[in-house]
Chains A and B, each alone.
Chain A
Amino acid sequence: MQQLALIDEPSQQPSELSQSKLPGDIAMWLVIMMELTVFALFFIGFAVMKRLEPDMFLQGQHTIHITIGLGCTLSLLLSSYLVALALNEAKRGNNVKVAKLLRGSLCLAFVYLIAKSYEYTLLINAGFDLSTNDFFTLYFLITAFHFMHVILGCGILFYLHQQSRKQFYGPNEHQGFEAAAAYWHMVDLVWILVFFLIYIAH
């Protein structure tokens, strides 16, 4: 209704026309809000425990690998960047380019998964696990929970890739893509805060 009113108004610019719309589906945004709330509770729990046991957490943060954390962050950021570009191409109906960008994004997501698995292997081989102390309990819980979100995101990106190969997306058919992209960016946003809290804030 509001969009019709805007179209009737001749002074409205195209960018203003899109202002009344939330990207993707409202259901996806509810899921995103719930996920963000769960992660926020994990983060606050980690921060409170760190405040209570600063030496243990400082030692733990020196044990984990900052270079792997940095590599994971960069790979997720670049993956999100490619998905944002793919969404713009999907809106234009350029499905060939969308598929290429999504392949790149998936490769970068796999870089994250491999790097994180390697870090887990290093830590477990060095004798650290969930029961070592409070730092490692929270470290493994938060990062593994995020890891599962990345795996789910990879599945969604793969589905988008398959759809783009069928020339599915176009100017009037991209709402599902927007919702999936919002989920993937949420995973990226959460990792930015994980990186800040676990790797950087020491």
Chain B
Amino acid sequence: MTARPILAVRNLRVVHRSVGFGPARVSVAVNGISFDIARGDTFALVGESGCGKTTTARAILRLIDASSGTIEYDGLDLRALRGEALRRQRKRMQIVFQDPFTSLNPRHTVGSIVGEGLIVHDLARGAEVAAKVARLLEEVGLSAADAVRYPAELSGGQRQRVAIARALAVDPEFLILDEAVSALDVTTQAQVLALIASLRDARVLTCLFIAHNLAVVQSVASTVAVMYQGRIVEQGPVTALFAASKHPYTRAMLDAVPVTDPRDRHARTPLAGDPGAGGGAEPGCAFYPRCPHPSKDAVCRAAVPPLRAPAGESAAGSAAGSAAGSAAGSSSGAEEAQGHGSAHLVACTKAVPPSL
């Protein structure tokens, strides 16, 4: 058995309510997802815009409030934390945002951006702050002299390095990278990805890596979960997801990635429709309207398919999988016991044996 996960998310649900004129509109951004992240692991959450991946990250960090479900970090119930306890917890978990042009205060110097966390959490005082900031900047590949510069004087890649230094300043255990390399040029992206991997290994960080590009995920993550309209539709070890993906959405996403060699060009039928947002209104599988291979019978539309081990794979904990049969996405004791670690699971009625 694997060690106890450092982060355990169970049946997390986040509902957004529109504010403004007219009747309030409700959209379910995250619709009951569960996953585990083991200490030192890099877990990738992949999906297209509106699928709920960023909302999940923000709910974990308590930047927004979850509607229901539990988020447990190292035995602590994160949703119950208040005041000083929450502040202390935030030192342990940090985030790097997508756009380094908006995530850094343009009126603060690099030194004060990186040093702020040190002061807030009383990790350094006086001259110590500058010395620590200098070390951090060097650690992320900038120079100590950059401390006096402003974000506007830096390139996109340099700014993202500042954002990483800021996150690392408080010496966190857990780092969320929310599309941290998506806005960067391809050569810069490769450099920042390499930096993230080396920092993670050197500091033994646990990472939640959020991306919309499967190609970026493959090199950094050990476990991948694919989200679609607020739900995880497939998850498993990175090898299984790329070599033996079972969900038609995962496959479509893989197929949609452009070839890297013009000789590999091939005719293909792109998936129709839009990724959309705010699913959960229809009773069945959210992917059903776009699915290239929907069931002839009503099974796909009847209920949301639960996450189960795919046909022909004897996943760890498959004994518990059978008990999840009627759960249809709701919580069940067996599903909880099964864990949501690194086993390959898929939420598609056609990818799992009917007997389960």
A binds B: no
Chain A positions near chain B (C-beta within 8 angstroms): none
